[in-house]
């Protein structure tokens, strides 16, 4: 790994900790179009352009928000395809949708480049520890070329299929569950508050029984801070789930499958975005149901 050079494009909530973690075992050059993210990245070799970061890299790791940013990173004014040697690996860690990734894979193949479709799950803290869940869609050549970097990023690494888009498909299923679980946690704690219960005690009790879930345990404490001035720490923006549940709906319709629970959860996040919560932590979705969500004293 010490001889591998990785360019990390996108130094946001996930890209930054992934870059820092990979820098312990390989050469990392990072770039983000936001100067503040570049200066605060804590990554040696932070470049002033995407092309400068990617030139000569063995692997270009993309941590972008959506398909538009993906296309811009590859083919925009500072697009890196122009400087990548044939056989280089583009490692996509973002959730951008099945069709978008298949189209990008075809274009990259025409340029002699390999695409590894490897959306990640686990959050910023686990990203910084190399403790991510990574689901991969890639052919044999791309999988072999990227595997050392993937293994450094992941505690659970699963190749779910041989084609670009297969990773996106599995991540879409993952995001259906995550979005629904966050929405359900918000409803549960909002109901606890409405019934006059101590929400901290409710959270502790629920996590001890069959109603427990990762999202309830992870988002629940931040939901109790949602009504505070400034809200909870932003670890995952609310509008990410607007995007991801939209991708769930698109995939389900293409497959001819009804997903009514996911659709209901999507509406809750859409309402949150409409209420100005797009850049807030996704736990703030509870305020759509309980505007003053937060610690509550038991009813007397």
Which contiguous run of DSSP H or E holds residue 208? none
3-state helix/strand/coil string of 277-292: CCCCEHHHHHHHHCCC
DSSP state at residue 83: G
Q: How many helices (H) and strands (E) does the chain have?
A: 13, 8
Residues 126 and 132: beta-carbon distance below 8 Å = yes
DSSP state at residue 237: B
Crossing angle (nearest 10°) for helices 214-223 and 166-194: 50
Q: Which residues pair with 90 in a beta bridge?
A: 60, 115
d(Cα 293, Cα 85) in Å, to the nearest integer? 53
Query: Which residue is catalytic, options 21, 126, 159, 171?
Result: 171
Any idea how long the chain is? 300
DSSP state at residue 191: H
Which residues, at least 6 apart from 20, have a Cβ–Cβ distance to it below 8 Å? 41, 42, 43, 128
d(Cα 229, Cα 208) in Å, to the nearest integer? 30
Burial 241-275 (b: 16+ CB within 10 A, else e): bbbbbebbbebbeeeeeebeebeebbebbbebbee
DSSP state at residue 90: E
Catalytic annotation on 243?
no
Instruction: Tell me which residues are annotated as active site.
Output: 171
């Amino acid at each position: 790994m010490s001889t591998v050079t990785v360019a990390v494009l996108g130094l946001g909530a996930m890209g930054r900790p992934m870059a820092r973690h990979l820098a312990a075992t390989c050469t990392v050059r990072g770039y983000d179009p936001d100067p503040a993210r570049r200066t605060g990245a804590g990554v040696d070799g932070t470049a002033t352009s995407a092309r400068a970061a990617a030139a000569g890299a063995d692997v270009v790791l993309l941590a972008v928000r959506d398909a538009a940013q993906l296309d811009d990173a590859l083919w925009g004014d500072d697009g890196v395809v122009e400087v990548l040697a044939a056989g280089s690996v583009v490692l996509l860690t973002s959730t951008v949708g099945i069709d978008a990734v298949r189209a990008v894979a075809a274009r990259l193949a025409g340029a002699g480049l390999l695409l590894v479709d490897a959306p990640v799950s686990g959050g910023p803290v686990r990203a910084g520890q190399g403790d991510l869940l990574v689901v991969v869609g890639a052919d044999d050549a791309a999988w072999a070329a990227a595997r050392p970097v993937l293994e450094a990023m992941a505690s659970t690494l699963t190749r779910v299929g041989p084609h670009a888009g297969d990773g996106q498909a599995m991540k879409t299923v993952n995001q259906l569950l995550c979005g629904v679980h966050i929405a359900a946690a918000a409803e549960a704690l909002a109901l606890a508050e409405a019934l006059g219960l101590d929400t901290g005690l409710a959270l502790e009790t629920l996590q001890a029984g069959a109603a427990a879930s990762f999202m309830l345990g992870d988002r629940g404490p931040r939901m109790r801070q949602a009504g505070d001035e400034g809200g909870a720490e932003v670890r995952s923006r609310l509008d990410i789930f607007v995007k991801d549940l939209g991708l769930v709906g698109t995939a389900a319709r293409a497959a001819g499958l009804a997903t009514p629970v996911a659709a209901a959860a999507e509406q809750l996040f859409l309402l949150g975005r409409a209420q100005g919560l797009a850049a807030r932590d996704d736990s703030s979705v509870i305020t759509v149901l309980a505007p003053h969500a937060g610690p509550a004293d038991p009813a007397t």
